[in-house]
Structure 1
Amino acid sequence: MAKQIIGVSSKYQFGAWEHRVVKFETTEDAEKWLETEEYDFREREIFTSEWHAIRLIGQGGKKMIQEAEVR
């Protein structure tokens, strides 16, 4: 994958943020995912910088990105 595109889906519940991470091969796939609604009202963001995604996720972010599924 030449350019890494990272999607982070976040939800605040019970006093803490929960994050899910996915990676995309194309910008089109990432934008389509960004515009898709989830049943539990999550906030979604896409990043081309791993550093920025880690800053959002916090502790354990790097590992979550490395282990994320590619869509």
Structure 2
Amino acid sequence: MKAGDLTQRVTVERFTSTVDGWGTPIESWAPLFTCWAAVEPLVGREYIAAQALQSEVTTRIRMRFRPWMTAQDR
């Protein structure tokens, strides 16, 4: 992947669960890191295939590999 293709800044978030002072669980998305990525719209066949797995997928985001990133991150 050429660096010139990575023109958009994106923030990847990880789901976190903590407990407040009253013992109530607080679930939220916390920023994990920000990086450069390529954001591309899906077209034709890719869009139809993606909808089978997700309720609404309209773009593809490509970035450099990070071994510690998981499928649960967004």
TM over 0.5: no
Question: Normalising by the residue count of structure 1, what TM-score does the alignment of the two structures yield?
Answer: 0.32
